[in-house]
Amino acid sequence: MIKLLKNRQIALSLIILGGLIFMAIFAGVLAPYDYTEKDLQNRLQPPSSNHLFGTDNLGRDILTMVMYGAQASLLVGFAVVSISLAIGVMLGVLAGYYGGWLDEIIMRLTDSFLAFPSMFLALAITAFLGQGMENMMLALIAVEWTVFARVARGSTLDVKTKGYVRASRWIGASNAYVMIKHVLPNIISPVLIMASLGIGNVILAAAGLSFLGLGVQPSTPEWGAMLNAGRTYFTTAPWLMLFPGLFIMITVLAFNYFGDGLRDALDQKMKNIELEGRF
């Protein structure tokens, strides 16, 4: 653990992520204004000492909205990845451990979800379920779980051949015991790496859906929705789009940089797991 923190890349990305999470949690205290506060006298003001990031078309302070926006983006990222991880790891371990027909069914199901380019699947699901944050999260889970299922299955197949796992079964350990005690701890590193890269991907995709008007509604502060609202004014008031976009980029970059550092630090073999450029 301490060795990991000595890695410059990991330490740097953790500091940035810590800052973003801090900003999201304490948005209510840190933000200079109330995000619902409309000031029609001061619409579309460029960045100034009163409004560091300027104001939007309703006179709301953009810095304040960016801070609150971090809540939505990070919440969506963490929630979607945790749920996808739970589903994917469970199915992947079962498939890899038992093999046979169970493996066939789970893997063909995974293939089927992967057959859709992820953005089209997410779009189709949000379109038919209806707009809104919960539906968008469901759509993103449908896209994201397959990554974990594949990684977990691959690692399980690898662990299964190890002597200690065979020995454990030989002395009569139950399957559940072997999976929890031996398989899970050994697949944690690849899964953690994919989770970190996954959060970045999910935040990007969520922002994309909200940008298209199919995710978080414009009334709640969210970076993608802010970009969508700023489209109309992008030539006259580019700061409406500049700052939310910048924060999406910093956040996604920090998660990707962290996952990348983790991959280098944890396992040399893992260098072969390439970034899944899905979004």
Partner 1 sequence: MLNEYFIRRVLYLVPVLIFISFMSFSLIYIAPGDPAEIMMTSPSGGYDEAAVEAFRIAHGLDQPFYIQYLNWIKNAAVGDFGYSYMSEQSVFETVLNAFENTLKLSVLALAIALVIAIPLGVVSALKHNTIVDDACRFGALLGVSIPNFWQAYLMIIFFSVIIHWLPASGFGHGTDISYMIMPAAVLGTGSAAVMVRMIRSSMLDVMGKEYIQTARGKGLSEKIVIIRHALKNALVPVITVIGLSIGFLLNGSVVVETIFGWSGIGNLVVDSILSHDYMMVQGSVLFVAVIFLLINFFVDLVYVWANPEIRYDKTS
Residue 125 contacts partner 1 per CB under 8 A = yes
Per-residue binding letters, 207-226, with partner 1 (x by CB under 8 A): xx--xxxx---------x--
Chosen residue from 162, 181, 231, 269 binding partner 1 by CB under 8 A: 231
Q: Which amino acid is at 136?
A: M
Burial profile 17-56: b = 16 or more Cβ within 10 angstroms, e = fewer: beebeebbeebeeebebebeeeeeebeebeeeeebebbbb
Residue 47 contacts partner 1 per CB under 8 A = no
Chosen residue from 34, 37, 111, 134 binding partner 1 by CB under 8 A: 111
Residue 148 contacts partner 1 per CB under 8 A = no
Question: Taking the complex as a whole, how short is the minimal distance between the CB of residue 37 and partner 1, in angstroms?
Answer: 26
CA–CA distance, 215 with 203 (Å, rounded to integer): 12
Residue 33 contacts partner 1 per CB under 8 A = no
Chosen residue from 66, 74, 123, 152 binding partner 1 by CB under 8 A: 123
Residue 241 contacts partner 1 per CB under 8 A = yes
CA–CA distance, 275 with 256 (Å, rounded to integer): 9
Chosen residue from 41, 49, 161, 272 binding partner 1 by CB under 8 A: 272
Q: Which stretch binds partner 1 (CB under 8 A): 36-44, 126-134, 160-168, 181-189?
A: 126-134
Collapsing DSSP to helix, strand or coil, 55 comes out as strand
Number of H helices, E strands in the chain: 12, 0
Q: Which stretch binds partner 1 (CB under 8 A): 15-23, 53-61, 187-195, 245-253?
A: 245-253
Chosen residue from 19, 46, 117, 185 binding partner 1 by CB under 8 A: 117
Q: Which amino acid is at 80?
A: V
Residue 15 contacts partner 1 per CB under 8 A = no
> Between residues 39 and 103, which has the closer beta carbon with respect to partner 1?
103
Let me know: does 264 contact 272? Beta carbons within 8 Å.
Answer: no
CA–CA distance, 60 with 201 (Å, rounded to integer): 29
Residue 132 contacts partner 1 per CB under 8 A = no
Question: Taking the complex as a whole, how short is the minimal distance between the CB of residue 230 and partner 1, in angstroms?
Answer: 9
Q: Which two tokens stand for residue 245?
A: 């976009």
Q: Which two tokens stand for residue 47?
A: 């960045």
Cα separations (Å) of 137 from 22, 79, 87, 90, 231? 23, 8, 14, 19, 24
CA–CA distance, 200 with 140 (Å, rounded to integer): 12
Residue 53 contacts partner 1 per CB under 8 A = no
Main-chain phi, psi angles of 27, to 5 degrees: -55, -40
Let me know: does 126 contact 215? Beta carbons within 8 Å.
Answer: yes
Question: Taking the complex as a whole, how short is the minimal distance between the CB of residue 271 and partner 1, in angstroms?
Answer: 6
> Between residues 33 and 54, which has the closer beta carbon with respect to partner 1?
54
Q: Which stretch binds partner 1 (CB under 8 A): 33-41, 66-74, 75-83, 98-106?
A: 98-106
